[in-house]
């Protein structure tokens, strides 16, 4: 389970590519300044505004993110996690002032101290930034997972057979067959 994984030292993370019209942050902040926030359609607009200003004012040489916040208990999925002893914290960040904001979610044991939660969220945000290659929108593991889901079954089987299982099937192409044999014999 997620809780067992956490207790074994594995930090379960979530990466939300398009927070779009989610209103987790708006609802969190909105308790204080509800009327002012009506101009924002969702968290993405609010985060983009707040972080872009911060980046433009202070420079893009730092990683900026929102203070970690706990998922609200009235969220149906979170209720289930909470019942099983987990707390989910989230934070928003942006790669640069022109990029789309993303949300990082970190699952922790219910007894995890707040300072440890803050460390884990900071680590997760920094990891997301480090794994996002220049010119890319998302961290490499997210891109790979997304692309893997888009591979058709036939292509996936070919990749598995040719690369992962290292099997060599004869081809009509004599040069390709020679290359396959050379590759296999060099590995042995």
The model's pLDDT over 149-187, given as tens digits with 9 standing for 90+, comes to 777 777 777 766 666 554 445 566 666 666 655 554 444
Which of 17-26, 28-37, 71-80, 121-130 is the most confident on average? 121-130
Tell me whether residue 35 is in a domain.
Answer: yes
The Cα 112–Cα 9 span in angstroms is 12
Longest dimension (CA), the chain: 72
157 and 124 part of one domain: no
180 and 102 part of one domain: no
The Cα 41–Cα 50 span in angstroms is 14
Across the chain, what does the average pLDDT equal? 77
* Higher per-residue confidence, 186 vs 120: 120
82 and 109 part of one domain: yes
Tell me whether residue 143 is in a domain.
Answer: no
Tell me the percentage of the chain whose pLDDT exceeds 90. 14
Task: Determine the pLDDT at residue 104.
Answer: 92
40 and 95 part of one domain: yes
Cα–chain center distance at 116: 20
34 and 111 part of one domain: yes
Contact status, residue 65 vs residue 123, Cβ threshold 8 Å: no
27 and 92 part of one domain: yes
Tell me whether residue 64 is in a domain.
Answer: yes
Which of 84-88, 114-118, 146-150, 166-170 is the most confident on average? 114-118
Residue range(s) defining the domain that contains residue 182 = 151-187
Judge whether residue 115 has pLDDT over 70: yes
Tell me whether residue 22 is in a domain.
Answer: yes
Tell me whether residue 140 is in a domain.
Answer: no
Tell me the pLDDT band of 188, cut-offs 50, 70 and 90. very low
Q: What is the pTM of this model?
A: 0.66
Query: What long-range pairs does 75-79 form, CB within 8 A, spacing at least 24?
Result: none
70 and 127 part of one domain: yes
128 and 157 part of one domain: no
Q: How many domains does the chain have?
A: 2
Tell me whether residue 146 is in a domain.
Answer: no
């Amino acid at each position: 389970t997620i809780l067992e994984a956490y207790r074994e030292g594995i930090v379960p993370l979530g990466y939300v590519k398009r927070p779009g019209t989610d209103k987790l942050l708006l609802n969190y902040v909105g308790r204080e300044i509800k009327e002012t926030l009506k101009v924002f359609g969702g968290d993405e607009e609010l985060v983009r505004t707040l972080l872009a200003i911060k980046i433009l004012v202070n420079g893009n040489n730092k990683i900026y993110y929102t203070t970690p916040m706990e998922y609200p208990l009235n969220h149906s999925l979170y209720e289930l996690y909470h019942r099983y002893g987990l707390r989910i914290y989230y934070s928003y960040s942006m790669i640069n002032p022109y990029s789309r904001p993303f949300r990082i979610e970190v699952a922790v044991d219910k007894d995890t101290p707040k300072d440890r939660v803050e460390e884990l969220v900071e680590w997760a945000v920094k990891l997301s930034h480090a794994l996002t290659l220049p010119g890319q929108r998302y961290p490499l593991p997210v891109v790979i997972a997304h692309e893997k889901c888009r591979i058709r079954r036939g292509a996936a089987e070919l990749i598995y057979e040719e690369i992962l299982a290292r099997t060599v099937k004869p081809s009509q192409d004599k040069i390709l067959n020679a290359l396959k044999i050379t590759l296999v014999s060099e590995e042995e």
